[in-house]
């Protein structure tokens, strides 16, 4: 399944809200560690968000910068894991 813009946007909004407190912006391909958007413990928040929002299970050995260090990479990872936006219960 290819990633779509909604996935990417959702991740982008989460990063800006959670790590920048809606006071700034970040490019989709910016290194979250390198740009100081988050530190090493921030990845836990990302993992939790991804699991809850896209209904996937992140294995311990998948918590790698390759998969999580930018909005674009996260979107690719989510698509690869077959994740889709979990609908809220109505």
Contact footprint for another protein (CB under 8 A) = 17-18, 20-24, 33-34, 36-37, 39-45, 60-61, 63-65, 68-69
Query: Least distance in Å: CB of 36 to another protein?
Result: 5
What is the DSSP code (8-state) at residue 69?
A: S
DSSP state of 87: P
Q: Closest CB to another protein among 26 and 84?
A: 26
CA–CA separation, 20 vs 25, rounded Å?
7
Q: How far apart are CA 30 and CA 36, in angstroms?
A: 10
Residue (4 or 35) nearer to another protein, CB: 35
- Using DSSP, state whether 78 is helix, strand or coil: helix
Identity of the residue, 55 or 65, whose beta carbon is nearer to another protein in the bound complex? 65
Q: How far is the CB of 69 from another protein (least distance, A)?
A: 7
């Amino acid at each position: 399944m290819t990633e779509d813009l909604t996935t990417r946007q959702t991740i982008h909004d989460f990063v800006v809200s959670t790590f920048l407190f809606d006071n700034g912006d970040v490019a989709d391909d910016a290194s979250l560690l390198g740009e100081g958007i988050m530190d090493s413990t921030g990845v836990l928040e990302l993992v939790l968000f991804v699991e809850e929002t896209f209904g996937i299970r992140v294995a311990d050995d998948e918590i790698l910068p390759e998969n999580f260090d930018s909005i674009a990479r996260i979107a690719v990872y989510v698509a690869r894991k077959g994740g889709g936006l979990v609908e809220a219960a109505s």
